C-alpha cells in the first residue's frame, strides 16, 4: 500500500498547487460535447469568403515540446515598395496595396535597405468557440493555459488546442492573417488584416532554426532549403525591429528560464537552464509588431477592446533601484529619478546597459523587474511602459489566452462590418471591466502556480544530491546569508549561521558580507563552491554551506540520509 501511495505523490503535489490557484484540467460536460461535435478535418465550407493562402510559403517556429501552435509566419522581400499611401502612419482596415517605388531608407538616412512584407498568421479559434458558448465560458473561467515543466493545463480542450485550431504542418487551418509592410528602419508603413485559410509547409523548432542560422548546419540547410532564405530574411527583419524598439526605449531584461523534465509519475528527472537564441527573438519581435499593429487599428474606433497595459512604475521603487545600482558601481543620474520626474524606460535601460557583460547584469534585471508594476489587461489604452509602446494588445495566442480570443471577435467584426452587432456591443460594454479584471487575475494565478511547481520540483530533484558539491555564483546578499545559484538555475541559501569561520558583517549599501577578523568579503557575482546541506521539499527550501566549511559533510549525510528528523529541518 505504501508503494501505491508513493506512485502518485508527485502528481498529487502538483494537483494540490493547481487547485489552490483555481486551475482544474477538466472541462464542463457541455464544453466537452461542443468540442466533440467539431470535425477533426476542416470542412472547406467554413472557409468561404476567406483568402486562400494555402499556396503561400508559411511555417511555424515553436519549442520542441509545443503542441498548441497559435502562430505561423511568412516573409517576402520587396525590392520595389511605395512607403506612401493612405496608411503610411499606421494603416486602416483596408490598407495594404503596395505599389512601385524604392524601399524605405535606413534609420540615419543612409542607403536604402530592403523592405519586407511580413505575414503573421494566427489560429482563428473564434471560428470554433462562439461567444457565450460552453467552451467560451470555460475558457473565460480559466483565463489562460498554464504551463509547467513539460506539461500544460490547457484553456481549451485538447481537440481544439492541440488539434483543429493548432497550425500543424500540411493541414488546412482557419486563420486571421496580418500582413505588415515594413521599411528598412523597422517602421510598419501599412498593413492588411483579413480572414484566411492556410496550410503550413513546415513545423520548425527554435533549435533547428538556431542551427540553420547560427551554426549553418549543412544537413539542416539542405533539408529546409526551401525556407532557408526566408529564415535569413526573418533574422534581418527581426534585428531591425528589435533595434528600433530598444532605440525607442523598450526594456531588455537578461533573465534565465528553467527547463524542467518530469517522468510519467511527475517525478523530476532533469533541471537545466533553458537555452534561447535569436530564433526565439525572431518570433517575439514579429508577435510584438503584430500586436501593436492590431491595437493601433482598433484604438481610434471606440469599440470595446482589451488592451495589454503596463503602468509607469512607482518613483520610490525606481529610486531604490537606482540607489542599488549606484552602490554596485553603475551610477544613474539621480535627478532624473526624483519623485514625479521620471518619464522614460530608456533611462532605466541605460543602467542595465552599463552593467552589460558584468556579473551584475542579471541581478539588476531582476531588481528592476521587481520594481516595475505588473502588466495587465484594461479596457482603456494607457500604453505599455516596458515595451515603450503607446498602444499594445495580446492578439497572437488565442489558443492559450482569453484576451486574444476576445480581441479576435472584435477584429473580425470590424474588418467585416466596421462595427459590432448591437447586442454584442451592449454586452461587452457592460462586462468588459469584469473580463479584464478576471483575465489579469487568472494570469497572476498561473504565474504563481508555475513558480510554486518549479520551486517544488527543484527541491525534489536536488534532494538526491545531499552532500554533493557544486560550483555556483552569489546572486543576492542579505544580513542572514547569501543566495547562490547553480548552473542549472537552482538557487539556495548559505546561512550566516553556517559560515562558522568568522563573524560576518552585512553592508546593506554595497550588498556584501565581510569577515570581521579575516576581512574576507563576499559580494554579488562572486564564484563560490558550495555543498548541498539541507532540502525541505514541503517548504521548497534549499540550503547550501560553503564547501570549505563542510568538513566531512558527505560522511554525515550518509548517516542521516534516512533520518525523518533530517527532512523536517
- pLDDT at 57 (0 to 100): 98
Q: What are phi and psi of 544, to 5 degrees?
A: -115, 165
- pLDDT at 4 (0 to 100): 38
Reported for 487-492, long-range contacts at CB under 8 A and 24+ positions apart, including other chains, are 487/273, 488/258, 488/271, 488/272, 488/273, 489/256, 489/257, 489/258, 489/271, 489/272, 489/273, 489/458, 490/271, 490/458, 490/461, 490/462, 490/542, 491/542, 492/462, 492/530, 492/532, 492/542, 492/543, 492/544
Query: Which has the higher per-residue pLDDT, 369 or 342?
Result: 369
User: How many CB atoms lie under 10 A from the CB of residue 315?
Assistant: 14
Burial of 45-55, coded b for 16+ CB within 10 Å and e otherwise, reads eebeebeebee
| CA atoms 324, 329, 333, 334: torsion sign | positive
CB 182 within 8 A of CB 57: no
Cα separation of 146 and 454, whole Å? 13
pLDDT, one tens digit per residue, over 58-115 is 999 999 989 999 999 999 999 654 444 334 333 344 433 333 333 333 334 444 445 8
User: How many CB atoms lie under 10 A from the CB of residue 216?
Assistant: 10
Query: Which has the higher per-residue pLDDT, 357 or 413?
Result: 413
Residues ≥6 apart with Cβ < 8 Å to 314? 371, 373
Full-model pTM = 0.87
Query: What's the pLDDT band for 561 if we cut at 50, 70, 90?
Result: very low
Query: Which has the higher per-residue pLDDT, 349 or 292?
Result: 292
Q: What are phi and psi of 75, to 5 degrees?
A: -150, 145
What single DSSP character describes residue 171? S
Query: What's the pLDDT band for 11 if we cut at 50, 70, 90?
Result: confident
- pLDDT at 331 (0 to 100): 64
- pLDDT at 343 (0 to 100): 56
Cα separation of 305 and 233, whole Å? 33
Q: Considering the chain, what is the average pLDDT of its residues?
A: 86
- pLDDT at 471 (0 to 100): 95
- pLDDT at 508 (0 to 100): 85
User: How many CB atoms lie under 10 A from the CB of residue 153?
Assistant: 18
pLDDT, one tens digit per residue, over 262-320 is 998 889 999 999 888 899 999 999 999 999 999 999 998 989 999 999 998 888 888 87
Query: What's the pLDDT band for 7 if we cut at 50, 70, 90?
Result: very low
What single DSSP character describes residue 549? G
Read off the C-alpha cell for 294.
492590431
Does residue 156 register a pLDDT over 60?
yes
Residues ≥6 apart with Cβ < 8 Å to 29? none
- pLDDT at 20 (0 to 100): 95
Does residue 393 register a pLDDT over 80?
yes
Mean pLDDT of 230-236: 97
Helical pair 345-354 and 315-327, crossing angle rounded to 10 deg: 20
pLDDT, one tens digit per residue, over 16-40 is 999 999 999 899 999 999 999 999 9
- pLDDT at 254 (0 to 100): 73
Query: Which has the higher per-residue pLDDT, 165 or 371?
Result: 165
Does residue 563 register a pLDDT over 60?
no
- pLDDT at 336 (0 to 100): 52
CB 121 within 8 A of CB 74: yes
Query: What's the pLDDT band for 549 if we cut at 50, 70, 90?
Result: low
Mean pLDDT of 485-490: 94
Amino acid at each position: 500500500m505504501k508503494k501505491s501511495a508513493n506512485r502518485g505523490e508527485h502528481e498529487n503535489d502538483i494537483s494540490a498547487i493547481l487547485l489552490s490557484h483555481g486551475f482544474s484540467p477538466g472541462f464542463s460536460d457541455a464544453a466537452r460535447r461542443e468540442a466533440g461535435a467539431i470535425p477533426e478535418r476542416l470542412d472547406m465550407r467554413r472557409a468561404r469568403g476567406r483568402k486562400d493562402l494555402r499556396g503561400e510559403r508559411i511555417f511555424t517556429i515553436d519549442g520542441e515540446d509545443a503542441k498548441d501552435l497559435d502562430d505561423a509566419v511568412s516573409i517576402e522581400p520587396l525590392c520595389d515598395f511605395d512607403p506612401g499611401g493612405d496608411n503610411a502612419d499606421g494603416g486602416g482596415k483596408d490598407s495594404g496595396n503596395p505599389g512601385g517605388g524604392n524601399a524605405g531608407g535606413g534609420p540615419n538616412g543612409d542607403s536604402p535597405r530592403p523592405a519586407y512584407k511580413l505575414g503573421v498568421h494566427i489560429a482563428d479559434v473564434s471560428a470554433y468557440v462562439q461567444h457565450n458558448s460552453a467552451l467560451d465560458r470555460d475558457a473565460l473561467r480559466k483565463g489562460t493555459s498554464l504551463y509547467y515543466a513539460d506539461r500544460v493545463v490547457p484553456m481549451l480542450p485538447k481537440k481544439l488546442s492541440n488539434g483543429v485550431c493548432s497550425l500543424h504542418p500540411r493541414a488546412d487551418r482557419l486563420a486571421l492573417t496580418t500582413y505588415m509592410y515594413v521599411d528598412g528602419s523597422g517602421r510598419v508603413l501599412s498593413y492588411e488584416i483579413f480572414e484566411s485559410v492556410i496550410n503550413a509547409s513546415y513545423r520548425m523548432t527554435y533549435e533547428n532554426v538556431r542551427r540553420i542560422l547560427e551554426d549553418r548546419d549543412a544537413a539542416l540547410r539542405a533539408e529546409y532549403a526551401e525556407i532557408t532564405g526566408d529564415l535569413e530574411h526573418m533574422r534581418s527583419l527581426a534585428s531591425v525591429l528589435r533595434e528600433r524598439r530598444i532605440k525607442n526605449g523598450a526594456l531588455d531584461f537578461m533573465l534565465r528560464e528553467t527547463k524542467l523534465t518530469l517522468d510519467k509519475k511527475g517525478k523530476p528527472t532533469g533541471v537545466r537552464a533553458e537555452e534561447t537564441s535569436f530564433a526565439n527573438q525572431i518570433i517575439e519581435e514579429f508577435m510584438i509588431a503584430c500586436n501593436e499593429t492590431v491595437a493601433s487599428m482598433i484604438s481610434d474606433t471606440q469599440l470595446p477592446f482589451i488592451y495589454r497595459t503596463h503602468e509607469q512604475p512607482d518613483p520610490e521603487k525606481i529610486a531604490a533601484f537606482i540607489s542599488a545600482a549606484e552602490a554596485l558601481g553603475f551610477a544613474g543620474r539621480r535627478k532624473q529619478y526624483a519623485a514625479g520626474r521620471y518619464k522614460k524606460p530608456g533611462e532605466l535601460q541605460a543602467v542595465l546597459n552599463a552593467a552589460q557583460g558584468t556579473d551584475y547584469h542579471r541581478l539588476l534585471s531582476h531588481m528592476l523587474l521587481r520594481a516595475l508594476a505588473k502588466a495587465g489587461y484594461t479596457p482603456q489604452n494607457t500604453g505599455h511602459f516596458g515595451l515603450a509602446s503607446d498602444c499594445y494588445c495580446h492578439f497572437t495566442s488565442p489558443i492559450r489566452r482569453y484576451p486574444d480570443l476576445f480581441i479576435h471577435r472584435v477584429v473580425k467584426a470590424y474588418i467585416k462590418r466596421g462595427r459590432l452587432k448591437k447586442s454584442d456591443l451592449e454586452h461587452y460594454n457592460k462586462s468588459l471591466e469584469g473580463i479584464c479584471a478576471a483575465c489579469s487575475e487568472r494570469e497572476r494565478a498561473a504565474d504563481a502556480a508555475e513558480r510554486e511547481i518549479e520551486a517544488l520540483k527543484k527541491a525534489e530533484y536536488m534532494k538526491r544530491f545531499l552532500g554533493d558539491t557544486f560550483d555556483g555564483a552569489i546572486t543576492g546578499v542579505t544580513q542572514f546569508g547569501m543566495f547562490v545559484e547553480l548552473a542549472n538555475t537552482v538557487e539556495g541559501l548559505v546561512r550566516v549561521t553556517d559560515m562558522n569561520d568568522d563573524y560576518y558583517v552585512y553592508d546593506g549599501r554595497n550588498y556584501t558580507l565581510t569577515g570581521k577578523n579575516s576581512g574576507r568579503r563576499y559580494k554579488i557575482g562572486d564564484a563560490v563552491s558550495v555543498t548541498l546541506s539541507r532540502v525541505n521539499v514541503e517548504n521548497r527550501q534549499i540550503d547550501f554551506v560553503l564547501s570549505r566549511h563542510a568538513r566531512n559533510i558527505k560522511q554525515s549525510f550518509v548517516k542521516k540520509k534516512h533520518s525523518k528528523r533530517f527532512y523536517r529541518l
